[in-house]
Amino acid sequence: MPETLGMGQTRVSAPVRQYDPQDVSVSVDGMIITGLADGTFVNCEKNEDTYVPYVGSQGEVVRAHNANHTGKISFTTDHTSPSNSYLTQLANATRLFPCKVVDMNPDSNQSAGGAECWIVKHPNFDRAGETTEMEWEVFVADYEIL
């Protein structure tokens, strides 16, 4: 609904958008990860820039396409998550597996991941007076964002 500001100006208010973290899924080797931690529970990023700039001595600029298409997906689970035992098995295995993060929220519908992935290392083994968190890092050899 337009709002009159005075002096002939109006402002049109933007529609309210919604976000639900339950509409974000992390899938590792076809298994949906459960028991994700509070806060930022997943992070997806490409390992290097898509283009590398070069500037010559007279200011000419060239951009070179970087052939490195790798990335990483990091996610955090509560240490009581039932997914941790399966992730530990994958970390001990030598085979590659798919990993994908899907945001099904209508205003941010995106996905990231790849088919050739492995767990970089086991997360820290911490325990305390209350539940702790485990951060898993997955290397993605064929990373893409859709």
| pTM listed for this prediction | 0.85
DSSP letters along 51-87, please?
EEEEE-TT--EEEEE-----EEEEEEEETT-THHHHH
Q: List the domain range (segments joined by +) for residue 83.
A: 20-145
Over residues 96-110, the mean pLDDT reads 94
User: Is 129 part of a structural domain of the chain?
Assistant: yes
Over residues 1-23, the mean pLDDT reads 77
Over residues 52-74, the mean pLDDT reads 96
Amino acid at position 146, single letter: L
User: Is 13 part of a structural domain of the chain?
Assistant: no
CA pair distance 132, 100, nearest whole angstrom: 24
How many structural domains comprise the chain?
A: 1
Over residues 6-35, the mean pLDDT reads 88
CA pair distance 21, 117, nearest whole angstrom: 24
User: Is 72 part of a structural domain of the chain?
Assistant: yes
**CATH number of the domain to which 82 belongs:** 2.30.110
Over residues 93-98, the mean pLDDT reads 97
Q: What is the pLDDT of residues 108-134, one digit of tens each?
A: 889 999 999 999 999 999 999 999 999
What's the alpha-carbon Rg for the chain, to the nearest Å?
A: 21
User: Is 10 part of a structural domain of the chain?
Assistant: no
User: Is 12 part of a structural domain of the chain?
Assistant: no
Categorize the per-residue pLDDT at 16 as very low, low, confident or very high, splitting at 50, 70 and 90: confident
